[in-house]
Amino acid sequence: MAMPKDEIQSEMTAAWETYLAALEKSMDILEKDIQEAKEMASVCTAEWCDATEHTIDELNNALFSISEPRWSRPEDSKRIKLLKRRIYDLYVNYKGVFAQVS
């Protein structure tokens, strides 16, 4: 039988991994949407722009408010740093699409 502390740590580690994976998946989806918008100007409606900017803001807030657990791995810190750089790049790409339709 696992000790409660070990079981709790295992659950927390699994939740942390799920959270980081969900952030990455969200960025993948957003990146795909922005790329499609570059190729099809008709996608770039005011509603699309508002929703996209809101999503970028939410992801940005989630990333920059992360308090890494002291037990997280060095790879996790690197992963978060890359995600922060990636959200910036997504915003730049979004602004490029927004400028095309404005």
Cα distances (Å, whole numbers) of residue 61 to 1, 35, 42, 57, 87: 40, 22, 29, 6, 10
Q: What is the pLDDT of residue 49?
A: 85
Token reading at 64: 């920059």
- Segment 34-89, tens digit of pLDDT: 988 888 766 677 888 889 999 999 999 999 999 999 889 999 999 999 999 999 99
pLDDT, mean of residues 3-14: 87
* Domain assignments of the chain as residue spans, ordered by start: 35-102
